[in-house]
Amino acid sequence: MTRAPASSDQTRADLTKVDAALMVLARLLGDAAAAEMRDEFTTHEDADDAPKTK
């Protein structure tokens, strides 16, 4: 089974979508890393693991 070659416009549109998704992922990972550096809790599990203070 062979695929018909995609048009260059469709390929460019697909790559634009992939690029946008990667930029969002990079932003989320960067935000999470920055929060970790500031010792902020990034998930519910992190908050559960923190030492309890009174």
Domain residue limits, the chain: 8-39
pLDDT at 44: 62
pLDDT at 15: 95
Rama region for 41: left / alpha / beta (φ>0; ψ in -120 to 50; rest): beta
DSSP at 38: T
Nearest-5° angle of CA 40, CA 44, CA 50?
60
Alpha helices, DSSP H, located in 1-49: 8-37, 44-49
d(CA 46, CA 32): 12
For 5-51, what is each residue's pLDDT tens digit? Answer: 778 999 999 999 999 999 999 999 999 888 888 887 666 666 666 66
